[in-house]
């Protein structure tokens, strides 16, 4: 069975409920992707750092219940997870508020066990991370991680990078742009969106944004329900199927797209069919509140259908 490692941060999630109340859960972009990958039948480990508190214990138990491996989760004495709050408008669009400056995950690249964790990445078929992952580490931590990614690519491991952008995670846009360039160069697969990249490269066209991505395989999700897929030197447009239910919450739309795309590629599907699978799962996820939909709502697993695309 193919194995995937997802690197990042899971936080305590506070989500709006009726009456001005909030529901507590757990979430994070790469963690959401890990859960959906596990549900799609792939052996998936989550790599992060947590505290030694009861909330961190709950996270571990929840991930294990979803089939996500936790052997590579570092536990730090006296530390806590970060917190984020989701605010959604009438159209289901979301805004995030974060409290994470002292979260345990920020120390993952600076621990006694960091070397062993990075060496373990050579045992996976795909290693997945996001721009949010990179934003929580300092310059030395990112350098250490990029060196490890370069090493495992030489050993045949594919690296997938998601451009998930949160401006507050970066000291300035110039730093973010520089790290994105490094990440695109370090990745075999780039999962991008105009929503993520236009704040960094204002005024660029879709073709201009794609030209900035050095990764040999790239998906650029558009503002409309479609994506541009570039591989083998050619670009193709893949359109999403129309939704049959109203959009409730767009949280984790991109995370679930990434999971379905990578699952399809690991299963032997071509990038066009993989993009279609990504759109299909994301189209289900946005019809439910929160990042992780009920198991009963998951579409049946199977070989993604082939997609017609326009160049």
**Are the C-beta atoms of residues 264 and 282 closer than 8 Å to each other?**
no
CB atoms within 10 A of CB 43: 16
Q: Is 255 a catalytic residue?
A: yes
The C-alpha R_g of the chain, in whole angstroms, comes to: 18
CA distance 273 to 275: 5
* Residues with Cβ within 8 Å of residue 270, at least 6 apart in sequence: 306
In sequence order, what are the beta bridge partners of 9? none
CA distance 270 to 245: 28
Catalytic residue among 151, 255, 270, 280: 255
CB atoms within 10 A of CB 14: 19
Of 252, 258, 184, nearest to 10 by C-alpha is 252
CA distance 89 to 9: 25
Residues noted as catalytic: 255
């Amino acid at each position: 069975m193919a194995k995937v490692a997802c690197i990042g941060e899971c936080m305590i999630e506070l989500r709006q409920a009726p009456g001005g109340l909030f529901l507590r859960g757990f979430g994070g972009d790469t963690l959401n992707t890990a859960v959906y990958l596990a549900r799609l039948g792939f052996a998936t480990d989550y790599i992060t750092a947590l505290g030694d508190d009861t909330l961190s214990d709950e996270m571990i138990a929840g991930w294990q219940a979803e089939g996500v491996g936790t052997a590579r989760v570092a536990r730090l004495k006296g530390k806590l997870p970060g917190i984020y709050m989701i605010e959604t408008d009438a159209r289901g669009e979301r805004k995030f508020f974060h409290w994470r400056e002292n979260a345990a995950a920020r120390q993952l690249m600076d621990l006694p066990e960091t070397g062993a964790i990075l060496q373990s990445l050579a045992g996976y078929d795909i290693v997945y991370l996001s721009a949010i992952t990179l934003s929580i580490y300092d310059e030395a931590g990112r350098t250490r991680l990029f060196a490890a990614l370069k090493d495992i690519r030489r050993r045949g491991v594919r690296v997938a990078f998601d451009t998930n952008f949160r401006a507050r995670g970066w000291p300035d846009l110039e730093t973010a742009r520089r790290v994105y360039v490094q990440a695109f160069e370090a990745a075999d697969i780039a999962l991008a969106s105009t929503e993520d990249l236009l704040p960094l490269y204002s005024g660029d066209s879709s073709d201009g944004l794609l030209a900035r991505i050095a990764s040999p395989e790239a998906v650029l999700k558009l503002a409309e329900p479609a994506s541009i897929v570039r591989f083998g030197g050619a670009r193709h447009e893949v359109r999403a199927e129309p939704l049959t239910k109203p959009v409730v919450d767009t949280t984790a739309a991109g995370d679930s797209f990434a999971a379905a795309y990578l699952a399809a590629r690991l299963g032997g599907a071509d990038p066009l069919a993989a993009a279609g699978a990504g759109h299909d799962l994301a189209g289900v996820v946005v019809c439910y509140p929160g990042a992780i939909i009920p198991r009963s709502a998951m579409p049946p697993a199977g070989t993604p259908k082939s997609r017609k695309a326009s160049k």
